[in-house]
Structure formats: structure tokens, C-alpha cells
Amino acid sequence: MPQRPASPHRRTNDPEGLRQRLVDAAYIAFSTRGYHSTGLHELKREAGVTGGALSHHFPTKKALGLAVIQDRVAEAVELTWITPVKLATTTSDGIQAVFASIISELERKGTVSGCPLNNLALELSCQDKDFQAAIEAIFMRWRTAIADKLRADLRGSTIHDFDSEAMATLVVATYSGAMAMAKACQSVAPLATCAKQLTSIIQNQTSLATHLNLESGYPVSRS
Amino acid sequence: MPQRPASPHRRTNDPEGLRQRLVDAAYIAFSTRGYHSTGLHELKREAGVTGGALSHHFPTKKALGLAVIQDRVAEAVELTWITPVKLATTTSDGIQAVFASIISELERKGTVSGCPLNNLALELSCQDKDFQAAIEAIFMRWRTAIADKLRADLRGSTIHDFDSEAMATLVVATYSGAMAMAKACQSVAPLATCAKQLTSIIQNQTSLATHLNLESGYPVSRS
DNA sequence: GTGAAAACAGGACAACTGTCCTGTTTTAGT
DNA sequence: ACTAAAACAGGACAGTTGTCCTGTTTTCAC
């Protein structure tokens, strides 16, 4: 009698690869359709994995969600925001470039599914302490990176009353909210508008601070 | 034989009141726990209604969600944002008052469950066209109300290069995003920071425009 | 080679989801 | 008073949810 059945579904053990496939599929699903709207059976089908494999790598749905946040969402923020801003010549330029990149990407794919971090933040922050902590850490890192860049911009010019942390918070908040509005009206218009406003504000703010720093009553006229 | 049983659950028909109770309970549940995280059985228990009553007033969960958005969420935006801003002496004052009011309310209740409109927008916009349209309409009304107030502020002073619509978009986006950050870190700090930044920006922007409008190189010193 | 642990397969399971259905009671028109 | 419709009661229903369980296969240390 065959201990090995006729065609016993040959498989190649690849724990790392399987895990990546799972988290990838979950990241896409959670980001677009939402965490609670995505069933695990549905997810298993999309990722091409069985229940045994899923429960082996992630004993609960929460563990999978946490992995998505810490691995994929954090990475996405790093790639689309933090690195481009850090590499840009100035914060204003970096922000403008990031917005432009995201807008063109959205126009290419047709629909606005929103910022993955924001989507999961609003859905999960109040539901679980671990989710909240993981998401908060990403927001913190994001905000800090922009604040650092803003401070680097002002290196040399001795300006006192410019709050880099506050401005970084404004930038992150404005982007998040603009993306929410873009998702609500399925249009990139709010993003384009806020991008323009933000760069204008930062440039005004920094140049204004520079002028005030001259401690005289009149600004430097540029004509 | 008793056609009328011993104690046959006397009830008082009150279609309007029952509907209100249902939408109220659903508004609270959807705003805090989310649309998909709220089961209808759970909701029936909280509202104190039976399945028959629920399905009579709202044949589907979507119908209930739509009623929550159009009745309660729209009203909430009207009460907490549009009316206060409209009644304020200036847009900047109105915005500051709204933020202060919301912040103190959040501090009183201890937890940050987020902006109801934003919560439902991110959860439902991509899921259903009707939801998206209803939410988009509220965003539109919100933004337009602020833009109108900004234009009213500038009545008299002939300023050309101030885009009220863009500034209104910025205000709504910044508030939405700040509330999202506040929810993510369970702190009102982002709201307080963005409130300060916003009022500063509006005042700088309008006064700067006024100064530029003088078409001279120096601003009006106020001392 | 042998044993043990890791890596998977495949399905069972109870709990829950939203919807619907059959009755009963109240209301209102005539 | 009679009747039809509206307003509810209470539960049944099939589908789905996340989790868990028993096997089988691969890997690896010794």
C-alpha cells in the first residue's frame, strides 16, 4: 500500500518566501479594502496559501496585521516620504516632489484608495493597544524625519521663532487629511491644492523668519 | 381561548422616535467602533429594538449607514464646524475656537475616537458609490463654508492673490489629518499644534497679501 | 540513519454576520 | 365597525468569520 499517495502535492518548504507572500497580499488587501473587510479565507486564496501555513506563520489575524504595519506600512512611509525628503536639496522641494510623485501614481491607477498608514490608523487605533502603538511609532518617525530636514534647512541662518516640530506636524497632518479628502471625492485635486499651499507656507514662513531675524521694521524687498 | 395573551408585550408605536434611537445608536457605534466592526445584533441590543423594527425602517445595513451619514454626520459637521465659523468675527478666530472646543471635549472624555466623517470616509468611500457620494457632499459643504467665510473676511480689502478655496481645503485637510494623528497617538497634541499653525498661517497670509497690495516695498508697521 | 522539530496540507468548528420570514399589534381611512 | 396598511415582535436562515485540529512532508542536528 502506498505510504506516499499517487500525487501527493509536492511542495518546497520556503518559510521566508511564504511569509513574504502572505504579508504582501495582506498589505494590499488591508490597504485597499480595509482590515475588517478582508476575510482570511479570501486572503489565503489570493496569497495561494493553505490554512495550515497561515496559522503556522501567524497564529491570529492580529499578528498578521501587526506584521503588515511594522514591515510593509513602515517601509512604504520610508520609501515614499522619508527618503525622498531626506535626499532633496530642501524640505520644500522634497515635499513638492513627494506630492507630485504620489499624484501621478494615483492618476495612473485611476482610483484613490488612500494612505495605507491613515487607513489602518483610523480603523485599528481604537481597537487594540498594540496596533495603536505600532502606528504611533510610524507617525512619530515620519514627523521627526521632516522636522530634522527642516532644521537642517535652517542651518546657518540663526532663526529663533521657527518651530520645526510644529511645521513637520502640519505637513504630515495636511498630507493625511488631503489624502482623506482625495479618497472621499476620488480626485487628486485636494492633494494638488495642499501641496501648493504647503510649499508656499514653508517658503513664506522661513523667509519671513529670516526677515524678522534682521530685527528691523522692514523686509528685504526683492525688486 | 385568549386571542390576547396574558401579558403581550404592550408597545407604543412611535416610528419616528424609534428611527431616531436607531440612527443615534448607529452613529455612536459607527463613529467609535467603525462600520464593519459593529454588528447589527449588537446594535439592536444597544438601541433596544428588535429585528423586525430594524428591517422595517432600514431594509439593509447600508441604508442605516447612509442615514447615519446624511442625518447625523452632516449635522455634526454643521454644528461643530460650519456654524461656529460662520458666527465668528473672523475665520481665524472661528477656527481657533473650533479647535479649542474640540480639544477640551476630547480631554474631558479621555480618548480620541477621531472625526466621524473621516472615520467613515476612509472606511466606506472605496466600498460603495453611494457612501462615497454622501461623504463627498459633506466635505464639499464644509470646505465651501470656510471658503465663503474667508472671502467675507477679505471684503473691502482688494486682494488678488489670495485663494480662499485653496486655503479652505488646507484647513479641512489639516484638521482631518491632525485628528487622525491625534487618534493614532491618543493625544490632543497634534490638534493643538495644527490649530496654532493654521491661525498663524491665515493671519500671515492675509496680512502679507494686504501688504503686497499696497504695492510698496515696506509693510505697515503697527507700533 | 534516526528522531525531533519545523513547515505545511486540508478541512472541521462554533460563533457571528446580515437578511428575511411569519405572526401580532397598532393606526388610520372609510 | 371594518379593513388595509403600517409598525413592530421574535426568531430562523444561509453564508461567512477567525481559529484550531489532525495529519503529512520536509528539514536538520547528531
Domains of chain A: 70-213 (1.10.357.10)
In this complex, the residue of B36, B175, B183 whose CB is nearest that of residue A34 is: B36
Could you tell me what percent of chain B has a pLDDT over 70? Answer: 87
Q: Is the pLDDT of residue A201 over 70?
A: yes
Is B80 within 8 Å of B98 (Cβ atoms)?
yes
Rg over alpha carbons for chain B, rounded to the nearest Å, is 23
Q: How far is CA A147 from CA A130, A162, A169, A205, B48, in A?
A: 26, 11, 8, 14, 50
Least confident of A138-152, B137-151, B158-172: B158-172
For residue B119, list chain A residues with Cβ-Cβ distance below 8 A: 122
Q: Is the pLDDT of residue B10 over 70?
A: no
Give chain A's mean pLDDT. Answer: 89
Q: Is the pLDDT of residue A215 over 70?
A: no
Give chain B's mean pLDDT. Answer: 89
The set of cell numbers assigned to B189 is: 497634541
In angstroms, the separation between the Cα of residue A29 and the nearest Cα of chain B is 12
pLDDT at B156: 73
Residue-wise burial string across A52-83, b where 16 or more C-beta atoms lie within 10 A, e elsewhere: ebbeebbeebeebbbbbbebbbbebbbebbbe
Q: Mean of the pLDDT values across residues B11-31?
A: 92
Q: Is the pLDDT of residue B12 over 90?
A: no
Cell 502606528, located at residue:
A135
Q: Is the pLDDT of residue B4 over 60?
A: no
**Contacts A–B by Cβ distance under 8 A:** 174
Least confident of B60-64, B127-131, B150-154: B150-154
For residue B199, list chain A residues with Cβ-Cβ distance below 8 A: none
pLDDT at A222: 41
Q: Mean of the pLDDT values across residues B21-37?
A: 97
Is A66 within 8 Å of A134 (Cβ atoms)?
yes
Could you tell me what percent of chain B has a pLDDT over 90? Answer: 79
CA distance B197 to B215: 27
Angle at which helices B116-124 and A164-185 pack, to 10 degrees?
50
Least confident of A7-16, B47-56, B60-69: A7-16
* pLDDT tens readout for residues B194-223: 999 999 999 887 765 455 444 444 444 443
* pLDDT tens readout for residues A119-171: 999 999 999 999 999 999 999 999 999 999 999 998 877 666 789 999 999 99
Handedness of CA B93, B190, A29, A74 (dihedral sign): positive
pLDDT at A205: 79
> Would you call A174 and B169 a contact, using CB atoms and an 8 Å cutoff?
no
The set of cell numbers assigned to B186 is: 491618543
Chain D nucleotides with an atom closer than 7 Å to a protein C-beta: 6-12, 16-27
The set of cell numbers assigned to A35 is: 482590515
Q: Does A176 touch chain B (CB under 8 A)?
A: yes
CA distance B169 to A190: 7
Return residues with beta carbons within 7 A of strand C. Answer: A 9, 11, 13-15, 18-19, 49-53, 55-57; B 3-5, 8, 10-13, 36, 38-42, 51-52, 54-55, 59-62
Question: Closest residue by Cα to the C1' atom of nucleotide C8?
Answer: A53
Q: How far is CA A195 from CA A153, A171, A189, B123, in A?
A: 19, 9, 10, 24
Nearest to B68 by CA among B102, B35, B94, B39: B35
Instruction: Indicate the residue type of A83.
Output: T
For residue A99, list chain B residues with Cβ-Cβ distance below 8 A: none
CA distance A122 to B120: 9
More confident of the two residues B62 and A15: B62
Is A204 within 8 Å of B212 (Cβ atoms)?
no
CA distance A123 to A173: 17
Q: Is the pLDDT of residue A174 over 90?
A: yes
Nearest to B170 by CA among B142, B190, B192, B193: B142
For residue B186, list chain A residues with Cβ-Cβ distance below 8 A: 125, 132, 136
> Would you call B172 and A177 a contact, using CB atoms and an 8 Å cutoff?
yes
The set of cell numbers assigned to A38 is: 478582508
In this complex, the residue of A36, A176, A177 whose CB is nearest that of residue B36 is: A36
pLDDT at B81: 98
Q: Which residues 89-128 of B are in CB contact (within 8 Å) with A?
A: 111-114, 118-119, 121-123, 125-127
